[in-house]
Amino acid sequence: MQKRKLGKYGPEVSAIGFGCMGLTFGYGSVVDRQDAVKLLRAAVDHGVTFFDTAEAYLNGNEEFVGEALEPFKGEVVIATKFGFKNGVAGEGMDSRPENIRRVAETSLKRLRVESLDLFYQHRVDPAVPMEDVAGTIKELIAEGKVKHFGMSEAGGESIRRAHAVQPVAVLQSEYSMWWREPEKDILPLLEELGIGFVPFAPLGKGFLTGAIDANTGFAEGDFRGIVPRFAEDARKANQKLVDAIGLIAESKGATKAQIALAWLIAQKSWIAPIPGTTKLHRLEENVRGASIELTPDDLDQIRTALDAFDVVGARYPQHLQTLVGK
């Protein structure tokens, strides 16, 4: 697995990381703790050194990660997040300094580490000045409890305000072949400021793999059931994009997922996507995406295909969309 540095201020990580949310949250089920531990350790065996969790993923997510990665201290980078009331996204945002400190102390214990490698603000909290948030992280860094400051789904103004107080090492936001909004303003800003980028949902929450079509049913509790982009008519319309990716994948002897990941890695040297999975064979497939080299001609072909396609459906329902890009 190739390594890359997340911008000027961020850590060095594997080119493909592991997003841990789906182990316990968002998809209607919780993976057995020991199965999760085995999968995360298998990821390390396959060269993954970058793992992403959060207090808000609930159901023991941080504890799973802490148990699995404890034998690899100093060899892996673990990111976690603060920013919701009582750690529950549905209760609203809370980035008050006292809550940031509470989450930091709790996450240190759950992850079984002495310092948090990367500590993200999960969403911008309009009720708390960004200078207070960044200032609190600056203090935690000075105290040795945090190594790097990150933000998630933040807009340009918030990033600049935070960065002026404490350098933002990494931004995490959604970015994939079917959500390219960061290309307009965010990626140029990150390049200007030397901030690394971590795309979540790099496989379009599973859609870009080809495993989901118009006939797919979602389990109770699977958040995709309320996402407009996953409505039946939208899935039917968006299948054309998956088909186009499939043609490119065939020409490279790869899977659709591998092409989607290789494409992201090829965009910038400071990008490291974090696909998630609960299955070993999908983990192995994703990891192999880092070894696929796309030529300039390949990238031109892909961009032409993407530019010709308008994705149908919003990526979030309206009540969730209001939390992003602040």
The residues that are catalytic are 57
Sign of CA dihedral 286, 195, 139, 131: negative
Q: What angle do CA 145, 87, 30 make, to 5 degrees?
A: 105
Residue keyed to tokens 């010709």: 308
Residue keyed to tokens 């504890």: 63
| Pairwise CA distance, residues 66 & 68, whole Å | 6
Strand partners, 61: none
Q: Please give the backbone phi and psi of residue 184, each rounded to the nearest 5 degrees, phi first.
A: -70, -55
| Pairwise CA distance, residues 44 & 72, whole Å | 8
- In this structure, what token pair is assigned to residue 36? 């999760």
Is residue 265 a contact partner of residue 15, using CB atoms and an 8 Å limit? yes
Sequence-separated (6 or more) residues with CB below 8 Å from residue 20: 40, 51, 52, 53, 57, 61, 64, 65, 276
Rg of the Cα trace of the chain? 19
Nearest by Cα to 195 from 204, 186, 182:
186
- In this structure, what token pair is assigned to residue 7? 């911008």
- In this structure, what token pair is assigned to residue 277? 């999975």
- The DSSP secondary structure of 96-127, one letter per residue, reads -HHHHHHHHHHHHHHHT-SSBSEEEESS--TT
